[in-house]
Amino acid sequence: MPTIKMTIDEQVALLMQGTEYGDEELKKMMANELRERLVEAEKQGRPLRVYCGFDPRTSDLHLGHTVPMRKLRQFQELGHEVTFVVGSFTSLIGDPSDKDKLRPQLTMDEVQYNARTYAEQAYKMLDRNKTLIRFNSEWLAELSFEEVIRLASQFTIQQFLTRENFRKRWDNGDPIYLHETFYALMQGYDAYNLKADVQVGGTDQLFNIVTAARKLMTFLGAKPNIAIILGILPGTDGEIKMSKSLGNHIPLLSTPEDMYGKVMSVPDKAMGQFFRLVTRWTPAKIAEVEKGLAEGKLHPRDVKMTLAREIVSIFHSPEAAPLAEEAFVKVFQQKDIPDEMPEFALQPGQTVLDVLIASQLASSKSEGRRLIDQKGVRLDGEVLTDPMQPFPHPGVLQAGKRRFLRVK
């Protein structure tokens, strides 16, 4: 059945790679259930039915969005059936799982527009010929009010109020709207309707998958799906979840050179998360690399360059990776950029000129403007020409020939 030949234990190790449950016993339980389901499916001669839902709230994806897609691709390569569910109905609510405020509701036109570009970018990760695309409005729009009441009867208000984001809003006196509690029910019904063996999601989906989906599937007489809960990819600062609004993201539509440079700006301590969540590397290869780093046999810079080549190869092409590396080396390593330099924490809303002044790379606004006018200010090797533009993204800021600053 698998297109890549692996033992059951090797499959479990690969598919559990990068998972986080916040509870070691729950993780063991999911791994054991996955092993049992793989054995059962092999005996029956069928693939596992695997899905992940994506609410297309934006058409501009970054590397953080691809983490569950990488896991879906691993399932595909092992011969399993993958469904990419577009949350055409759940997007009308907006997932409250990772927010401590109300999400804006999208219109159906906005959802459909974003979904088209979202899926096209997803094919950078997924096998186009082996990916089923479904819209959850197909089945959620058909539920009667009586059926919704029946599903809702399986949950208590207390269960929702124990969730950190809802609890924070409750304690702050901020409104929690009734329609927001429907999201978990709808996602659980997605899993039931698809007869899913496995559901993939991030740690922000733990309640929706482990509590809601498994409970609803059991209630409706189906075998509960197995939750593959993945860690959240940090941004280029190595600390906070990758986010376009925070400016610490690596866009999928960026050039190979820009993508390579942004990966190289990721702190060493975050490389392990990138290994597990974004690359095609197996658990054995990652263990080998991390052992080499720990023993000092591998230099972090060299490993990071290998990581950057891998990521550019995935999202552009194997041919683009060495060219991007060559451009990076030419700009950085041949210009004697120091390994050690002062660091600066970027604040929301700061402009290029603000950063120059606040970091003391320029003593005054007039000096900062003069440096920019003379094309003496570069970010990751690219000349910055507008002093009032929002600071583009974290990276190495150069003012003149010898002054460097690592913006985080």
206 and 260 part of one domain: no
Could you please report the per-residue DSSP string of 94-127?
---TT-SSPPPPPPHHHHHHHHHHHHHHHTTTS-
Indicate if 52 and 63 belong to the same structural domain.
yes
Report the number of distinct structural domains present in the chain.
3
| Domain range enclosing 257 | 239-335
Q: Is residue 19 domain-resident?
A: yes
Same domain, 72 and 146: yes
> In 279-392, where does DSSP find H-type helix?
283-294, 300-315, 320-331, 352-358, 365-373
Q: In this structure, are 85 and 157 located in the same domain?
A: yes
Closest CA to 230 of 222, 245, 241: 241
Q: Is the pLDDT of residue 274 over 60?
A: yes
Whether residue 198 sits in one domain with residue 60: yes
The DSSP bridge partners found for residue 86 are 54, 135
Statement to judge: residues 262 and 149 lie in one domain: no
The CATH number that applies at residue 391 is 3.10.290.10
Pair (274, 382) in one structural domain: no
Residue among 264, 366, 363 at smallest CA distance from 306: 264
d(CA 187, CA 138): 13
Torsion sign (Cα): 84, 85, 86, 91: negative
d(CA 152, CA 136): 18
Task: Establish if 2 belongs to a structural domain.
Answer: no
Same domain, 204 and 297: no
- The last residue of a domain, from among 291, 306, 335: 335
Average pLDDT over residues 90-119: 63
Six-digit token string for 163: 């969730």
Is 96 part of any domain? yes
**Domain's final residue, options 195, 230, 265:** 230
- Whole-angstrom CA distances from 61 to 109, 182, 205, 243 are 19, 26, 19, 10
User: Rounded CA gap, 282 and 237, in Å?
Assistant: 25
Based on the fold, state whether residues 154 and 296 are members of the same structural domain.
no
pTM equals 0.74
What's the pLDDT tens digit per position in 200-223? 999 988 888 998 999 999 999 999
Whether residues 46 and 177 share a domain: the answer is: yes
Do 92 and 194 lie in one domain? The reply is: yes
pLDDT band (50, 70, 90) for residue 24: very high
Residue 284 lies in a domain: yes
Residue 3 covered by a domain: no
**CA–CA separation, 372 and 18 (whole Å):** 43
User: What pLDDT digit, counting tens, does each position of 133-148 carry?
Assistant: 898 889 999 999 999 9
Q: Burial, 401: exposed, middle or buried (Cβ in 10 Å; 0-12, 13-18, 19+)? A: exposed
Which whole number is the average pLDDT over 66-71? Answer: 93
pLDDT on residue 399: 87
> At 221, which CATH number?
3.40.50.620
